[in-house]
Amino acid sequence: MPTLVWVNDRLVRADAPQILVADRGFMLGDAIFETLRARRGVVIELDEHLERLRESAVPLGIPLPADDAPLVTAIRALLSAEGLAGDGSDGRPPGDAALRVTVSRGAFAARGLAPRGESGGPTVIVQAWPHTPPTADSLQPGLTLVTSSVRRDPGSPLAGVKSTSRAENVYARLEAERAGADDAILLTSAGDVCEATSANVFIVRGERVVTPPLAAGCLAGTTRAWLLAHAASHGLVADEAVVTPGALAAADEVFLTSSVAGVIPAVRIDGAAIGRGAPGPFTELLRQSRESWIDRVSLGRA
């Protein structure tokens, strides 16, 4: 367990209560968040994550400070205090960390759904954990997936918003667990593939890499955007297009993407093998490419 967390304006002990029970993030899931990766103390795609945090805040009307600088300072202070910012120059491996920034609307005096009464303003929390990036060997078994019974409504004003109201995602992950699988694929209300419970999904067919469009209601993943921009440098054609469950099942390769986990192969869907039923070569190529890009960014060489 981390020793320290950042709450509002300072580092505090992680094992002591820090937020009010009336905090709407706790009571209602009235909060937004970002999950990020850091290496050598450098936060990867920080600007993209901060921009998405702002975009998530808009539909919910959660007020964010105009200036990102205090949040960036908080992230850096926490990484240093937790010993996760090492650059590798002391002979130890460079620090790898998973970070989470959560901003709730805060605690309000009045109960109920509408934010009424006095409030001390938004609650800002930053957490950091040591992270070990998965290796090709550790990923060799690949993920097993099931199709969730939870559907995503692409027409919802909150589709693609990274709010902490994640009960549906939790439900879908529990469904996967109950089926003995690692993760679940959520379909749209029209029955097309949307995303996994905490990752975007890609299929590979020949030399074409396809991911559902944002119109499917999936999160605009930072790793997804990176892959769409970088796949061509590996001779692949990357596209956003509707993916049917049939196309996913018939793909040569399937992989999931997220900031912390990276590019993760999936090898089975609803009990049936995807492709050869083992991680595919393009997935591994893209995984390595993303990892080495992260390393170069952390060294200021990207």
Ligand X SMILES: Cc1ncc(COP(=O)(O)O)c(C=O)c1O
Find how far residue 10's CA is from the centre of its chain.
25
Q: Where in 110-129 is the site for ligand X (CB under 6 A)?
A: none
Residue 259 contacts ligand X per CB under 6 A: yes
Q: Which residue stretch of 53-61, 88-96, 219-227, 231-239 sits at the interface with ligand X (rule: CB under 6 A)? A: 219-227
CB of 157 to ligand X, least distance (A): 17
Q: Which residue stretch of 120-128, 192-200, 207-215, 263-271 sits at the interface with ligand X (rule: CB under 6 A)? A: 192-200
CA atoms within 13 A on the CB side of 188: 20
> Which position among 99, 126, 128, 199 is part of the footprint of ligand X (CB under 6 A)?
199
Q: Which residue stretch of 137-145, 176-184, 229-237, 252-260 sits at the interface with ligand X (rule: CB under 6 A)? A: 252-260
> Which position among 106, 221, 265, 280 is part of the footprint of ligand X (CB under 6 A)?
221
Cβ(288)–Cβ(163) under 8 Å? no
* Strand-pair category, 143-152 with 262-269: parallel
CB of 221 to ligand X, least distance (A): 3
Residue 102 contacts ligand X per CB under 6 A: no
As a whole number of Å, the end-to-end CA separation of the chain is 32
> Which position among 102, 148, 164, 257 is part of the footprint of ligand X (CB under 6 A)?
257
Of the two residues 109 and 241, which places its CB atom closer to ligand X in the complex? 241
Residue 223 contacts ligand X per CB under 6 A: yes
The DSSP secondary structure of 103-165, one letter per residue, reads EE--BBSS-SSS--S-B---EEEEEEEE--PPPTTTTTT-EEEEEEEEEE-TTSTTTT--BS-
Token pair in block for residue 268: 């089975």
Interface ranges with ligand X (CB under 6 A): 35, 195, 198-200, 219, 221-224, 257-259
